Structure 1
Amino acid sequence: MSSKTTPWEELVTSALLGTDRRPSSADGDRGPVALLDAAALHTVRHRAGLLPAPAAARPGTAPADLRPPLPPAARRRLAQLLADRSAPSGAGGRRGAAPDLTELIPQWLATAGLHGYRAPEALLPALLDAARARTDLRPQALAFAGPRGLWLARLNPDWKFALRGSSGGAPRPEVTDPEAVRRLWEEGLFAERVALLGAVRAHDPGSALALLTGTWPTERAEDRLMFVDSLRTGLSGADEPFLEQALSDRSRNVRATAAELLSALPESALAGRMAARAASCVNPDLTASSASIAVEAPHECDAEMQRDGVVATPPSGRGERSWWLGQLVESTPLSTWPAQFGGRTAQEIVALPVADGWGEELHAAWCRAAVRQRDPEWARALLGAPSVPPSNGPGTASLAERSKLLATLPGTERAAWVADFIAAHGLSEAFQLLGVCTVPWAEPLGRSVVDALDIARDAGSYPWSFSGVMGLAERCLNPAEADRLEVLTTTPDEPEGASPGAAGYWSEAFQRLVSTLRLRAAMEAELLPEAA
């Protein structure tokens, strides 16, 4: 081989074109062999000539985490859950009979958080990787990771998401330390300030409002929107002067959010102004032979209405007057209407016929008002009896809106209503309603869901049409139900006309349900302090 060093670019060209077409000065009599020898020599020389980079500063000591350690069994379970999170799921709608461990991570983290455990140091990387991949895990995962998780996140750019709610990866200052809070509020990044404002608001709403008012004139419009939205937590009459001032903000979105928050305060001046406008539009129909409601929608949207948050331009396909009417009614305190209609209850008002086809618009606005004002009496009236088909209900046929109304009711009542709804209408329309029910499901609801699944199996259809409900059942049924459901894991005779193999697939789905419930019970037992 020649002692002369062949340029790297020449070697690459010869390798790409072939030594027959483009021989290099390193070929000699050996052609390709000489080319490879020259490339190897060039590589060794290049590596030998590299200079070591300056050493980076050593990271500081990880902060202490004084929370108690996990019990050994729970630590092993967490390692199993995190290792399984990237396992491929079944194809074609089939998941087999084994529990889906990935879907159990949120429940495990929630339970561990209730007991106040700290994360094992050796599992912090896997925990941060899981939180990076699934945004729904981040709040619970980062709380469980604690200060050591944030310290570790500073050392890997892949985990920078963990630092967005903290001060450079250090623990957020205690909300009871006013000097540290003020310093971060004045000097922190936007995400740090949003997280700080939320934490202070949860601890002391007045202190958070004072922080916000101190810097409000200098904040950017997009930042002001996030900050004013944080006032939803702990909203009270003390926030009214600030929100009333925000109605004149130069940002339309800030004005709209301020108006929405003020309308959720029934005693606010804005709520009173909206009530006066709405009461002039919705009245008892004095021309009818029986009690009914007359509606005269606004004919214009003046400047004062717009300042109070009424959007003048309707979405495509909506009429202006109905659009304005809906905004007025949804921003009006629901306590306005009994006095407007002779002392009638919410249920009696909702049952009144509405003249000239305005009923759907009026009831939809009342639904939004009930959700905004968290009024269970009006929510019950607008939901109606669960046995009534949604299309004939007193409020709205929208299952999304019904879910929001249900969320205003106490958990036990919510579960009972959904259980009766499923008994009357089956599971096809119940998925969104089940999503707002308290976990674990109360027995009437759990029994209603299982009975409906059993009926679907007897009908001979495949279980894949109910995979969403089955997945919810695995996460939300009371684990104590596992033994009672064991009978459903057997494979019954297929009824005449059933889909081929459906009975076996249902048996597999119920085996997975029972196995998941038993696994959840074991997880909860492992996290008990006496398991340590």
Structure 2
Amino acid sequence: MNGTTSTDGATAAAASSWEDLVTTALLGTDRRPPADRGSGRQAPLALLDEAAMATVRRRAGLRPARVTRRPERAPEDPRPVLPAAAARRLATLLADRSGGGTGGRRGSSPDLMELLPQWLAAANAHGYAAPPQALPALLDAARGRTDLRPAALEFAGPRALWLARLNADWRFALRATPGRGAALPDPKDAEAVLRLWQEGLFAERVALLGVLRAGTPELARELLASTWATERAEDRLMFLDSLRTGLSAADEAFLEQALADRSRNVRTTAAELLSALPASALAARMAVRAAACVALDRTGNAPAIAVEAPFECDSGMERDGVAATPPAGRGERSWWLGQLVEAAPLGVWRERLGGRTAREIVALPVTDGWQGELHAAWCRAAVRQRDAEWSRALLGSPSAPEAGGPGAVSLAERAKLLAALEPAERAGWVAGFIATHGLSEAFQLLGVCAVPWAAPLGRAVVDALNIARDAGSYPWSFSGVMGLTERCLEPAEAGRLEALLAIPDEREDAAPGAGGYWAEAFQRLVTTLRLRAEMARELAPVSPVSPSGGAACGGVREHGGQACRASGGGVPEDTGPRSPQPPAQPPEAAG
């Protein structure tokens, strides 16, 4: 008993001594001299000596750790091995942490971290497995940048989850993975599916619902209906959101029941989903209400649209998702009108307004100052229903002044309308907009264009940058567009940019040194385009060797550490990302 007390006392003294040393180090030896000054050494050296001895005591006094079970082996990754040149490129991209700022002078070197998302998307498109030695750096990069996580975790594969369970810094990988990395049952195993749905954690149930919704939407809906009445309101809202995938007329009955839910947010989401089904009963009810508010006025010299906003928000409107209370600064009647028109099928307006097309309808004048409210609601309806004809009509001509179209009142709305158009038409519209208005307002519009940019759009952007250079401004005024151009311009355009690398003669009214900065920026653009082309070659699968000993035509083979191109020459097409990033963008848009 005395021995135990003595040991505990020694441990406490050692801990106290260590805490004293830390306190002395923090305060400084001038303010708090070390306890042991008998050696005659200077106070800082005496403190270090004491710390060294205390460290030895602490380590010697550690008790052996309890034996724990060794971790299971990491799972195998059956995907093909990444080509050696591409693996070296990945290591280089992950080692670069400069990040490249969005403003100021960036130099002529490519921003490698900004090319990493594109490299990951291309590697995933080829179906390669990540090299095991690259996984720690890949997870570190994904931890610091949330936009990298989906592509990085897809590329990292099952071994990333294995590592995430061993390192708390990488636990985000478990949170970002359906079911927190847990294996989901085969959708054909009805018993296992039902057991997980009834007994699983919330994240596992959400993941299961998402998997089933993608393959067997009716089974997902049946599962959801089986426990709907007992779910929490916040869970019901999350589960309901999963119905956006594969939304169809078969979901209408369930969504109609959800309109009577106790939670207002659930009712609103159910109404939004039903309004996205033009043939639904809710869409028909909204069409009747909206048509009662909008009519063709033939009393004047030319036809016009007359608007009579609703005078009240009745219980039926509220049940169908109309919010009765407007936000601050909005009038009640205009607030109710906008919600009705937004939820009504766009097809109702042709019959209601004299058989006119969408373009003819939006060209009609609107009486009593209701045009902005009506057209804004039509914009939201076109986005929700992904109606290309109405989106085209509301966008108007890209050369139109100011708002850019009869219904678009902001760049964000124009970007959403563009998302409903086919990629080629979208790129052509944005190219026309840039040719008329320049680059100052084009950043959001460029973000929804497919990558790599179509040739007309790429030429329009480069021409606009050249015009900005000739105007004598600094290039970092357009750093956002320049960054997009480096990532989205077709690499084959690098040769056409050679003429822009020379430093132009400065105008008298130009900013000092602007010509040199522009030459530097264009040099970085050309270098980045060539680097992207090289990345694409490195990721291309190795073709079978022909009997003559060379790679098959069009293939790439490794030779002496260099990627050797087969016949053809020129810069190959980029295999950069074909899908973007944020919620609300089309699959092919750039992030």
Stretch of structure 1 that moved more, 178-187 or 111-120: 178-187
Question: Residue 200 of structure 1: CA displacement?
Answer: 2.0
Question: Residue 20 of structure 1: CA displacement?
Answer: 12
Root-mean-square deviation (Å): 2.5
1:150 aligns with 2:161: yes
Question: Residue 204 of structure 1: CA displacement?
Answer: 2.2
The match for 2:408 is: 396
One-letter amino acid of the structure 2 residue matched with residue 161 of structure 1: F
Written as runs of structure 1 = structure 2, the 5 A alignment for 1:441-452 is 441-452=453-464
Question: Residue 223 of structure 1: CA displacement?
Answer: 1.5
Partners in 2 of 1:23 and 1:130 — Cα distance? 43
Stretch of structure 1 that moved more, 32-41 or 200-209: 32-41
The match for 1:106 is: 117
The match for 1:288 is: 300
Partners in 2 of 1:103 and 1:23 — Cα distance? 51
The match for 1:485 is: 497
The match for 1:222 is: 234
Question: Residue 208 of structure 1: CA displacement?
Answer: 1.8
Partners in 2 of 1:36 and 1:113 — Cα distance? 52
One-letter amino acid of the structure 1 residue matched with residue 143 of structure 2: R
Partners in 2 of 1:91 and 1:262 — Cα distance? 42
The match for 2:83 is: 71
Partner-residue secondary structure (3-state), 2:386: coil
Partners in 2 of 1:36 and 1:180 — Cα distance? 62
1:457 aligns with 2:469: yes
Written as runs of structure 1 = structure 2, the 5 A alignment for 1:54-69 is 54-69=66-81
Question: Residue 186 of structure 1: CA displacement?
Answer: 2.8
Partners in 2 of 1:233 and 1:375 — Cα distance? 18
CA contact under 8 A between 1:275 and 1:336: conserved in structure 2? Answer: yes
CA contact under 8 A between 2:83 and 2:539: conserved in structure 1? Answer: yes
CA contact under 8 A between 1:150 and 1:170: conserved in structure 2? Answer: no
CA contact under 8 A between 1:284 and 1:292: conserved in structure 2? Answer: yes
2:143 maps to which of 114, 132, 137: 132
Question: Residue 91 of structure 1: CA displacement?
Answer: 8.9
Partners in 2 of 1:76 and 1:20 — Cα distance? 53
Q: Deviations over 1:199-234 (max 9, x none)?
A: 221222222212221222222111211111111111
Partners in 2 of 1:314 and 1:419 — Cα distance? 38
Q: Which consecutive residues of structure 1, in runs of 5 or more, have no partner in the other structure?
A: none
Q: Deviations over 1:313-345 (max 9, x none)?
A: 111110000000000000000010001012111
Judging changes above 3 Å, is the alpha-carbon distance between structure 1 residues 449 and 27 closer, same or farther for their aligned structure 2 residues? closer
Q: Deviations over 1:276-312 (max 9, x none)?
A: 1001000111433321111000000011101100001
The match for 1:437 is: 449
Question: Residue 523 of structure 1: CA displacement?
Answer: 0.6
Judging changes above 3 Å, is the alpha-carbon distance between structure 1 residues 503 and 173 closer, same or farther for their aligned structure 2 residues? farther
Written as runs of structure 1 = structure 2, the 5 A alignment for 1:458-473 is 458-473=470-485
Partners in 2 of 1:99 and 1:46 — Cα distance? 49
The number of aligned residues is 527
1:341 maps to which of 345, 348, 353: 353
Partners in 1 of 2:270 and 2:409 — Cα distance? 29
The match for 1:516 is: 528
Question: Residue 57 of structure 1: CA displacement?
Answer: 1.6
Q: Which consecutive residues of structure 2, in runs of 5 or more, have no partner in the other structure?
A: 1-8, 543-555, 558-591
CA contact under 8 A between 2:274 and 2:282: conserved in structure 1? Answer: yes
Judging changes above 3 Å, is the alpha-carbon distance between structure 1 residues 20 and 313 closer, same or farther for their aligned structure 2 residues? closer
The match for 1:309 is: 321
Question: Residue 181 of structure 1: CA displacement?
Answer: 3.4
The match for 1:279 is: 291
Judging changes above 3 Å, is the alpha-carbon distance between structure 1 residues 54 and 7 closer, same or farther for their aligned structure 2 residues? closer
One-letter amino acid of the structure 2 residue matched with residue 111 of structure 1: A
Judging changes above 3 Å, is the alpha-carbon distance between structure 1 residues 177 and 528 closer, same or farther for their aligned structure 2 residues? farther
One-letter amino acid of the structure 1 residue matched with residue 127 of structure 2: G
TM-score when scaled to structure 1?
0.93
CA contact under 8 A between 1:374 and 1:408: conserved in structure 2? Answer: yes
Written as runs of structure 1 = structure 2, the 5 A alignment for 1:238-257 is 238-257=250-269
Question: Residue 49 of structure 1: CA displacement?
Answer: 2.2
Stretch of structure 1 that moved more, 390-399 or 449-458: 390-399
1:232 aligns with 2:248: no
TM-score when scaled to structure 2?
0.84
Partners in 2 of 1:61 and 1:236 — Cα distance? 44
1:119 aligns with 2:126: no
Stretch of structure 1 that moved more, 162-171 or 473-482: 162-171
CA contact under 8 A between 2:178 and 2:206: conserved in structure 1? Answer: no
The match for 2:386 is: 374
CA contact under 8 A between 1:65 and 1:147: conserved in structure 2? Answer: yes
1:183 aligns with 2:200: no
Judging changes above 3 Å, is the alpha-carbon distance between structure 1 residues 418 and 45 closer, same or farther for their aligned structure 2 residues? closer
2:65 maps to which of 23, 32, 53: 53
Judging changes above 3 Å, is the alpha-carbon distance between structure 1 residues 509 and 233 closer, same or farther for their aligned structure 2 residues? same
Identity of aligned residues (%): 69
Partners in 2 of 1:398 and 1:246 — Cα distance? 33
Stretch of structure 1 that moved more, 48-57 or 275-284: 48-57
Judging changes above 3 Å, is the alpha-carbon distance between structure 1 residues 238 and 51 closer, same or farther for their aligned structure 2 residues? same
Partner-residue secondary structure (3-state), 1:79: helix
Partner-residue secondary structure (3-state), 1:529: coil
The match for 2:518 is: 506
The match for 1:44 is: 56
CA contact under 8 A between 2:179 and 2:207: conserved in structure 1? Answer: no
Partners in 2 of 1:20 and 1:285 — Cα distance? 88
One-letter amino acid of the structure 1 residue matched with residue 238 of structure 2: M
Stretch of structure 1 that moved more, 144-153 or 232-241: 144-153
Partners in 1 of 2:31 and 2:245 — Cα distance? 76
